[in-house]
Amino acid sequence: MDISAQSQTALARIATRPDKGVTFTDLRKLDSDGDLHISAQEATQLGIAAEDINALNQAYRQSPFYDANEVAFDPKGGSALAEAKGKEFDNIWREVRDAEHQPRTAQTPDQLRNNLKLDAAWTGRPQLKAMVEHLQARGQSSPDTLTWLEAISKRHGKDTTEAICSELLNYARQGKSVTGIDKKAVLSDALHDIAWPSDIAQANKGTCAATALQMKLALERPRQYVQNLTQLAQGQTVSTPSGARMAPNNTWKGDEHDPRSTSGRIMQNAIMNLGGQGLLWDSKYDSKSDPDNGLNRGEQEAALRKLFGNNNYVNESSGLITSKADLLAYVEDEFARGRSVSISFKNHAVLAVGIDKSKNPAEVIMNSWGRQYAMTLDEFKTHVLAVRTLDDSGYDNKKTVAGRKTILGDQ
């Protein structure tokens, strides 16, 4: 492949492993806006000649090491996920929801109060009222934060919402300040993550498995999520329900190419280390170097058990004993019991959150890349490799309601 001297110099400069050339890990770090491709504008800013972008695209996508989840140069500005035809599941699933495009239903505090059918004194909701006043005093009372509070209250109810607001207000007022961590960002990110877990994104980091567990925790255990996030944000080690210790991992600090939210950086990095804890040695994740090897299935199972304090979580993989139809059955059983599921495809992990039987054919719904996607049951069975579900007493064969959409979290 012939490329200009200008581009050769630029590529040599961004290669972190010169003996291997420019890897996809290197390219991911250059995706400054986290949209999973490097546009012509981004490439030009790196010093790569415009006339070389097509040749680079072709060379990388013909490589046996290329995977559709990775970032590639893209002269047209389209998504690498959408353009990677024939690459596992990325040309199969369809985007069904992007929370960022949803309407803001509470434009003002009064509208939030009216939407929740509360009186002028916010009777019975002192912590929610205090949270709104706190946001107003600090210029954070936006349609975003108010809409998140409405979503949290409607999904999780009065008591949980009051507890979440109390925890966050305590952190905002009395929590330890840590250099490089914006307390206002932690507070707003926490509300965002619990209201719209599907919008949590790994961006350009190889933390898909940790992101799936971050979403699951925000969706199913919002109070624990807030406690874990605010403790880590204060530089404190978290004692998980299993007794395992989850320490802060702030290797993201100073990384100009990390577009993740503050909560994403804090939670995903800590979960990566949690899953990598071993009997003889621990695997330490560094999001600056962002090695290609994320959490393997065993490490994902270990992190899940520790975060949720339940050793009955097991990793089920398709093979001689367990069919892909079995994996789908286990996933549906989890949905019927009100639980989301950490799923493995080839080189990628997602959080499955529901099944839509109102459609023909029925579809499985999944959170990934900060959005919700769907694929048919047959497509799911084709591409699923492993699932991590609870081994309940009796048979794990519960079914969701026929003809209806069963979905957990934001929808």
Structure confidence at residue 44 (pLDDT):
72
Structure confidence at residue 281 (pLDDT):
64
CB 338 within 8 A of CB 271: no
Asked, for residue 146, whether it belongs to a domain, the answer is yes
Q: At what angle do helices 143-174 and 183-195 cross, to 10 degrees?
A: 130
Structure confidence at residue 58 (pLDDT):
59
Are 142 and 215 contained in the same domain? no
Q: What is the mean pLDDT of the chain?
A: 86
Asked, for residue 112, whether it belongs to a domain, the answer is yes
Are 226 and 149 contained in the same domain? no
Are 149 and 170 contained in the same domain? yes
CB 326 within 8 A of CB 381: no
CA distance linking residue 212 with residue 304, whole number of Å = 10
CA distance linking residue 359 with residue 333, whole number of Å = 19
Asked, for residue 267, whether it belongs to a domain, the answer is yes
CB 125 within 8 A of CB 118: yes
Asked, for residue 96, whether it belongs to a domain, the answer is no
pLDDT in tens, 59-89: 555 544 444 444 455 433 333 333 333 346 7
Listed residue (225, 229, 222) closest to 156, CA to CA:
222
Asked, for residue 124, whether it belongs to a domain, the answer is yes
CATH label of the domain that carries residue 356: 3.90.70.10
Structure confidence at residue 69 (pLDDT):
44
Q: Report residue 251 as tokens.
A: 């290797």
Residue ending a domain, choose from 289, 306, 323: 306
Listed residue (96, 86, 97, 95) closest to 346, CA to CA:
86
Residue ending a domain, choose from 306, 335, 364: 306
Asked, for residue 221, whether it belongs to a domain, the answer is yes
Are 202 and 184 contained in the same domain? no
Q: Report residue 236 as tokens.
A: 């404190």
Are 154 and 180 contained in the same domain? yes
Are 168 and 114 contained in the same domain? yes
Asked, for residue 222, whether it belongs to a domain, the answer is yes
Are 56 and 154 contained in the same domain? no
CB 275 within 8 A of CB 209: yes
Are 123 and 70 contained in the same domain? no
Query: What's the number of domains the chain is made of?
Result: 4
Strands (E), 76-128: 94-97
Are 237 and 184 contained in the same domain? no
Listed residue (283, 213, 289, 282) closest to 251, CA to CA:
289
Structure confidence at residue 198 (pLDDT):
96
The segments of the chain whose pLDDT lies below 70 read 1-2, 15-41, 54-88, 90, 279-281, 292-293
Residue ending a domain, choose from 284, 306, 328: 306
Structure confidence at residue 347 (pLDDT):
84
Are 214 and 298 contained in the same domain? yes
pLDDT in tens, 228-270: 999 999 999 999 999 999 999 999 999 888 899 999 999 999 9
Structure confidence at residue 30 (pLDDT):
61
> How far from 291 is each of 17, 155, 207, 212, CA to CA, in Å?
11, 37, 10, 18
Q: Which residues make beta-bridge pairs with 365?
A: 354, 374
Q: Which domain holds residue 284?
A: 198-306
CB 265 within 8 A of CB 233: no
Q: What are phi and psi of 110, to 5 degrees?
A: -65, -40
Asked, for residue 94, whether it belongs to a domain, the answer is no
Are 319 and 296 contained in the same domain? no
Structure confidence at residue 59 (pLDDT):
59
Percent of the chain's residues with pLDDT above 70: 82
Sign of the alpha-carbon dihedral angle for 237, 187, 213, 33 = negative
CA distance linking residue 136 with residue 132, whole number of Å = 6
Are 18 and 83 contained in the same domain? yes
